[in-house]
Amino acid sequence: MLDLVRDSTFGQIVNWASNGRLLPYPDQRSDYVIPDKYLPRHSTAPGAAADSPLPRTVSQAPTLASGAVTLVDAPGVCQEHKKVGSEAGDVEKQLQDVEAPPALPPSVRYPWLVDWEENDPDRPLNWSPRKRLFVASLVMLLTFSVYVGSAIYTPSIPGIMEEFGIGQVGATSGLTLFVAAYGVGPMLLSPMQEIPRWGRTPVYIIGLALFVIFQIPQVLAKNVATVLVFRFLSGFVGSPALATGGASMADIYPPRQLAYAVGAWSIGAVCGPIAGPVIGGFAAEGENWRWPLLELLWISGFAFVALFFFLPETMESTVLVRRAERLRKLTGNPLLKAPAEVDQGDDDRLGKLLKETISRAFRLALEPSLAVAHGYIALVYAIFYLWFESFSLTFNEIHHFSLGIGGLPYLAFVVSAAITFTFYVLYQKYHMNPRADRDPNLQPEARLEIALYAAPFIPASLLLFGWSARESVHWIVPVIGAGLYLPGIFLAFQGIMVYVSMSYPRYAASILAGNDLFRSTFASVFPLFGTKYFNALTIGGGSTLLAGISILMMPLLYLIMKYGPVLRARSSFAQG
C-alpha cells in the first residue's frame, strides 16, 4: 500500500518537497547500490584520484560532480569514443557515430539506457493481481464519477425549466453540452497523456479537480447560462477518463487479460449514465433541481480524494523517465536516459501531437471500414440517448411513477450488464483466446463476430419496449425490453473498438479519439428533440423507426467482416 501512496500525486508532491527523504524510491535510499551499467568506470570528481571507482551508494554519490563524468569502457561505445570531454553535448554528438543496424530504434544502440530490471516491481505489468485490481478499480471509479454526470442532470430539467422560465430544449441542452464536450475534449487532452514527461495521472487528477470545482457554480447558479457554460466545461475536463481509461487498463494488464479488464471498465462506464437518473431522481423529488448536481459534487469529490492519494502512474515510459531523472541526479551522469527520451527527442511536443492526432483522426475516419464502424457506434449511442427521453414518458406519465421511482427502471440495465459481462468473459476465455492461440495471424475482422451476433438485441429491445409502453401492459414488460438493449450496445461496442484498434494498431489512439468525437457529438443533439419525437410518432412508432434503422445498419457489419482485409490492404495507413 505504501508504494501506491508513494506513486500517487500526493506521494510525488511529498517526495519532491522532501527531496526524496519522505516516501523514497529504492534509488533514493542511503543503502541503494548503483548498478554498474549506470556508472562510468572512472571519474575525475574533485578530490578523487583519476582511476578511482565511482561511488556505489546514495550516501557516497553527492561527492560526484555532474560535469566531471568521463566515458571509459562504456558498453556499446567504439574505441574512438572512450575518452571524451565533460560536456554532455560533445558525448551525445560522438554517440551518433556509434555503429549499429540502422533499422533499430535509437534506444537499442544507446549505451546509457535506463530500462526495466528483471522482474522489476515498478513496472505496471509486473504488479501483483491485488494491486492491479485496486488500480483498475480506481480508474473505474474515475470513469463512473464523470460519466454519471451526464444523466444525473436529467431529473433537474423540470426544476430548471420552472425556476428560470425556459423551454425543455433550453434546459435539455445542459445534457447535450456535457455529452458533446466529452467528445471534443479527448482530441485536445488525450494527446497530453501520451507525452512521457507528463503521463496519464496528472491529466486525470487535474481534470478531475477542475471537474469538482466546476460543479460549485452550477449548484449556486442564479441563471441558466451559468449552468450551461459549466456543464460544457465539466464534460470537457472530465473527458480523458472516458477516452483513455481503456489505455490505462492496457498499461497494467497483459494482452491475454486485457479484454476482461477493458470489458469490466466499460461496464463501469455504462453504469454511470444508468445510475444517474436513479441517484438524481429522489434528490430532485425530495429537495430541488440543485441537489442532483450537489450529489455529483460529492461523488466526484470522493473520487478525487481517492485518486489523489492512491492512483499511481501506469504508463511505462513515464515511470522510466522519472527513474532516469532520479538516476541522473544521483550519479551525476547526464547521459542516462529513458527509452522515450532517446527515441522521441523533440517529437513529444504537445503542439505537434495535437496536430497529428486531430488531422489523422479525420483522415482515418474516411477509411471505408472505419467510417462504417464509427457510424454504427454513433448510431447506437445516439439511439441510446434519444431513447432515454421515452423513459419519463413511459414510467412517469403512462404508469404514473413519481420522479424518484421513475428512475428505478434504469436498474434493468445493471442486471443485464452483469449477465452480459459474464457471457463476454466466457466468450473470450473459451472461444476467442483458443482461436487466437491456434491462429496467431487471426484477422482483426474476427473480433466483429460478437458485434454482429449482439446487434439483433437492439431492435428487439426497442420493439418490445415501444409497443409495451402503454397503461394496459404491466410496467415490468417495458423494463425487460429496456434490459435487452444492454447486450447489444455493450457487445457491439467491445467488438468494434477492439477491431478498429487491431486494424490500425499504430494509430489506435487517433482512431479511438476520433470515434469518441464522432459518436459523442452526433449523439449529443438527439436528447434535444427526444420528447417531441416520441410525442409525434408515439413511443411505439418512434421505437419502431429506430429499430428499423438499426436493422438496416447490421448488414454493414457483415460487409466489413467479409471485405475488411481487402480494404485495409488498400489503405495507406495500414501499409505505413
Number of domains in the chain: 3
| Domain identity same for 452 and 513 | yes
Rounded CA-CA distance 424/38 in Å is 46
Ranges of residues in the chain with a pLDDT under 50 are: 43-54, 60-103, 346, 575-576
Q: State the Cα–Cα distance between residues 149 and 435, nearest whole angstrom.
A: 39
CB atoms within 10 A of CB 8: 23
**Which of these, 123, 348, 364, 442, lies nearest to 253 by C-alpha position?**
123
**564 in the same domain as 419:** yes
- Domain contains 546: yes
Residue 235's domain comprises 127-314
Distances (CA, A) of 150 to 64, 242, 276, 395: 56, 12, 7, 20
The predicted pLDDT at position 45 comes to 43
Reduced to 3 states, what is the DSSP secondary structure of residue 337?
strand
Q: Which of 512, 13, 2, 498 is nearest to 259 (CA)?
A: 498
Residues 275 and 218 sit within 8 Å (Cβ to Cβ): no
Question: Is position 262 within any domain?
Answer: yes
- Decide: 331 and 39 in contact? Cβ < 8 Å: yes
Looking at the fold, whether 274 and 393 belong to one and the same domain comes out as: no
Are 527 and 389 in contact by the 8 Å Cβ rule? The answer is yes
Cell numbers 508504494: residue:
3
- Residue 537: all three cell numbers together: 410518432
- Same domain flag for 463 and 530: yes
385 and 273 within one domain: no
User: Is 301 in the same domain as 374?
Assistant: no
- Asked if 64 and 43 touch (Cβ cutoff 8 Å), the reply is yes
Give the pLDDT score at 344.
67
Question: Is 563 part of any domain?
Answer: yes
- 3-state SS string over 33-51? ECCHHHCCCCECCCCCCCC
Q: Please give the DSSP secondary-structure letter assigned to residue 116.
A: P
Instruction: Kindly state whether residues 368 and 469 are assigned to the same domain.
Output: yes
At 469, give phi and psi (nearest 5°): -80, 70
Q: What pLDDT, on a 0 to 100 scale, did the predictor assign at position 56?
A: 53
Here the cell at position 162 is 420552472
Report residue 41: phi and psi, to 5°: -75, -25
Residue 66 within a domain: no
Q: Minimal CA–CA distance to 543: which of 470, 461, 462?
A: 462
pLDDT of residue 40: 65
> How many C-beta neighbours within 10 Å does residue 283 have?
21
Q: Are residues 233 and 308 in the same domain?
A: yes
Three-state secondary structure of 472-517: CCCCHHHHHHHHCHHHHHHHHHHHHHHHHHHHCHHHHHHHHHHHHH
Measured on CA atoms in the order 559, 562, 567, 573, is the torsion positive or negative? positive
Q: Kindly give, in sequence order, each residue whose CB lies less than 8 Å from that of residue 547, ignoring residues fewer than 6 positions away.
A: 458, 459, 460, 462, 463, 466
Q: Looking at residue 54, what DSSP letter applies? A: P
Separation of alpha carbons 193 and 167, rounded Å: 40
Residues 260 and 202 in one domain: yes
**What pLDDT digit, counting tens, does each position of 186-207 carry?**
888 877 777 888 888 999 999 9
What is the total residue count of the chain?
A: 576
Q: Does some domain include residue 330? A: no
Q: Could you tell me if 353 and 307 lie in one domain?
A: no
Q: Which residues have a Cβ under 8 Å from the Cβ of 308 and sit 6 or more positions away?
A: 8, 9, 10, 205
409 within 8 A of 482, measured Cβ to Cβ: yes
CATH of the domain at 376: 1.20.1250.20
Residue 257 to residue 433: CA distance in whole angstroms: 10
Instruction: Tell me whether residue 492 is in a domain.
Output: yes
* CA 118 to chain CA centroid, nearest Å: 28
Residues 285 and 420 in one domain: no
Q: Which three cell numbers stand for residue 111?
A: 549505451
Identify whether 112 is part of a domain.
Answer: no
Examine residue 236 and state whether it is found in any structural domain, yes or no.
yes
Residues 417 and 535 grouped into a single domain? yes
